[in-house]
Structure 1
């Protein structure tokens, strides 16, 4: 018997066809040798071997017919193997496509999250920039206001002693005070005070 009836990789779907091929191989004096030898080979090797057998004048016609039936069965097996490989390839490609789609969705989700984080950081930076600008404006206002305040304080402190006959002379960090009391015999008393201003 050339073909195994239980071989699921033979490529045949009907057992009647397998039995008929086996009968033709046996009736022509053949056996399972040709089929078993080439069942895992590609079709071009099977065809080359069949051609060499058919072209050999020393091979009987019955043997040629038996090998031809075996080659026919092997051809069906080769086609079934190719279909199986193609189906596996298609399945593998589909799996890879699904994996890439999943990865693409994950990347899209991650990109969306990063964009939200970027927008949040941009908003926070804008708020910090506005706060910094306001702080700089406040500092500038205080810097302009501070000399005016010192001048007003000097005017207040200098105007009061003049009522008592005391005169201030501001020379940078030295204040000279000239007092002219009415009941003192000498004309005037000059008092110089060292005053260091802090800036």
Structure 2
């Protein structure tokens, strides 16, 4: 018997097919050796071994037929294994795709959140700029009003200072005019004072 009826990895779904292949192998003088030896090998090795057997003129024709039926069963088994590998690979790719989609949704959500925060910050900045501009405008208006209100006071203060200075100067002029000539030193007094200063200087030397 080449193919086991209970082998789920054989690739066959119907027992009638398995029974027919096993009968052909047995009736041609074959056994499970070829099938068991290559059931885990790639198809290239199976085909290479079958070619050696078929090309050997010393091998009986019935054995060649038995090995050919075993190779046929191995090809079905190999096809089933490849399908399982493909299904497993597709499942793995689908899982990776789902993970990528989840990550993409997370990134998209994070990006949207950052965009919303940016819009909020931009809106707050615009409100702040508008409030600042309004405050500057109000400051300019109040400053202009303050300057207009303070200007008469400054003019009055300057006028009072000028009047006070003028009065002081006028008073000094009046005092000079009223001062008698005797209060100023005479020429003789100036000469005597100069002589005494020179004499004192010589004595000190």
Check whether TM > 0.5: yes
**Which residue matches 2:32?**
32
**Which residue matches 1:99?**
99
**Which residue matches 2:167?**
178
CA distance in 1, matches of 2:142, 2:120: 33
| Structure 2 length-normalised TM | 0.71
Aligned to 1:4, what secondary structure does the other structure show? coil
What are structure 1's unaligned runs of at least 5 residues? 160-166, 180-186, 189-199
**Which residue matches 2:71?**
71
Aligned to 1:169, what secondary structure does the other structure show? helix
Q: CA deviation at 1:96?
A: 2.6
> After the TM superposition, which residues 1-199 of structure 1 pair with which residues of structure 2 at under 5 Å, given as runs?
1-155=1-155, 168-169=161-162, 176=165, 178=167
Aligned to 2:6, what secondary structure does the other structure show? coil
**Which residue matches 1:182?**
none
CA distance in 1, matches of 2:74, 2:52: 16
CA distance in 2, matches of 1:143, 1:10: 98
| Structure 1 length-normalised TM | 0.73
CA distance in 2, matches of 1:114, 1:83: 45
CA distance in 2, matches of 1:177, 1:149: 27
CA distance in 2, matches of 1:154, 1:56: 130
Aligned to 2:10, what secondary structure does the other structure show? coil
Q: CA deviation at 1:110?
A: 2.3
Q: CA deviation at 1:155?
A: 5.0
CA distance in 1, matches of 2:133, 2:30: 100
1:137-164, Cα deviation, whole Å (9 max, x unpaired): 23333443343333222456688xxxxx
CA distance in 2, matches of 1:83, 1:154: 102
What number of residue pairs does the alignment pair up?
Answer: 173
What are structure 2's unaligned runs of at least 5 residues? 169-173, 176-205
Q: CA deviation at 1:121?
A: 0.9
CA distance in 2, matches of 1:136, 1:147: 16
CA distance in 1, matches of 2:61, 2:103: 62
Segment drifting more, 83-92 vs 96-105: 96-105
- Structure exhibiting the larger radius of gyration computed from Cα positions: 2
Structure with higher strand content: 1
Ranked by relative contact order (alpha carbons within 8 Å, sequence separation 6 or more), the top structure is 2
Segment drifting more, 147-156 vs 65-74: 147-156
Q: CA deviation at 1:3?
A: 1.7
Q: Is the 8 A contact 1:168 1:178 kept in 2?
A: no
Q: CA deviation at 1:24?
A: 2.3
Structure with higher helix content: 2
